[in-house]
Amino acid sequence: MKILVTGGAGFIGSNVVDGFISAGHDVVIVDNLFTGKLENINTKAKLYVMDVRSDELHKVFEIERPDVVDHHAAQMSVPASVNDPHFDAQVNVLGAVNILQCAVKYGTKKILFASTGGAIYGEADVIPTPETYLGNPLSPYAITKRTTELYLHFYASHYGLKYTVLRYANVYGPRQVPHAEAGVVSIFMEKIISGGIPTVYHYDESPEGMTRDYCCVKDIVRANIMALTAGDFEIINISSGIETSTMHLYRTVLESLRERGTAKDPKFDTPHKGPARAGDIRRSCLDNSKAAKSLNWQPEYDLKKGIAVTVDRFNFGLHKIT
């Protein structure tokens, strides 16, 4: 089938594009390259350099007539959404509505939407958190993701447009960029490999740092492939289902680097400590049992295996430390 992937030059989107192409699909990418990179583009995919808010987007749909749209383009930073809610809403809500309008007009059969798990659920009192939990979003970013989910429900009810919402846990893996809280694994790696001491953000009562559910991008790709033909009209958590503290994550990254002969200096044993930032939640872990039932999906990468894959893809030739 023909699949249009928005944000297909970004970290998650480009990995998903590779997965679709390996599975034999025809892929078209729409990306404004604001954070996406040309080097991430699969040579077998067709690229349109365009913002999802653009009035020109309808021309892409008219030419390509995608069967499925996999929507990954987004303003993805929680702190940035707090600092500029207007821009966050423009990209994440108005961009999504523009896509949905084009999809309906040009006969797209299904939308896959990359949503967020932890941010939507907020400070959940049920851990691991199921999709049925009525969360309390604590950031504009989370609000825009939930808003788009509601728009999908409207377009399904009003136009019969199929959708599957994939609520991701914290995704990490090859091609992740070291910025914003979503890129904590790559932030740790780059900081250590360049000789600096990373910062672990804490609430005062959490000496191990906040907790998150870390899911390898390799597993995310498989979930998107399976959702092409399953999970219609459903919201599904995609996660490891394991609650991991930031300090445990840090130690796992450091151990993996040391196994590969670097970062041996004991100064790396104790990272800096910083206060929680605006929009940060204390605990997050997602119940992924619905994914097993609806998509026949389960994670294949535990944290150690996923970090090892990520470290092995890092360009150590750029840095020299011991």
Domains of the chain: 2-171+215-238 (3.40.50.720), 174-212+243-286+301-318 (3.90.25.10)
For residue 109, what is the DSSP state?
-
Is 249 within 8 Å of 303 (Cβ atoms)? yes
| Buried b / exposed e along 68-78 (16+ C-beta atoms within 10 A) | bbbbbbbbbbb
Q: Are the C-beta atoms of 7 and 27 separated by less than 8 Å?
A: no
Does the annotation count 159 as an active-site position?
A: no
Choosing from 48, 141, 168, 250, the catalytic residue is: 141
- Residues of the chain above pLDDT 90, percent: 80
- Residue 122: the pLDDT is 86
Low-confidence ranges of the chain (pLDDT < 50): 316-322
CB 115 within 8 A of CB 235: yes
The distance in angstroms from the start CA to the end CA of the chain is 49
Tell me, what's the pLDDT at 10?
95
Give per-residue pLDDT as tens, 48-94. Answer: 999 999 999 999 999 999 999 999 999 888 878 889 999 999 999 99
The reported pTM is 0.93
Residue 179 confidence (pLDDT): 67
Integer angstrom CA distances of residue 98 from 27, 71, 109: 20, 11, 16
Residue 25 confidence (pLDDT): 98
Q: What's the pLDDT at 322?
A: 36
| pLDDT score, position 1 | 96
Determine the pLDDT at residue 275: 83
Instruction: Let me know: does 228 contact 112? Beta carbons within 8 Å.
Output: yes
pLDDT for res 279? 66
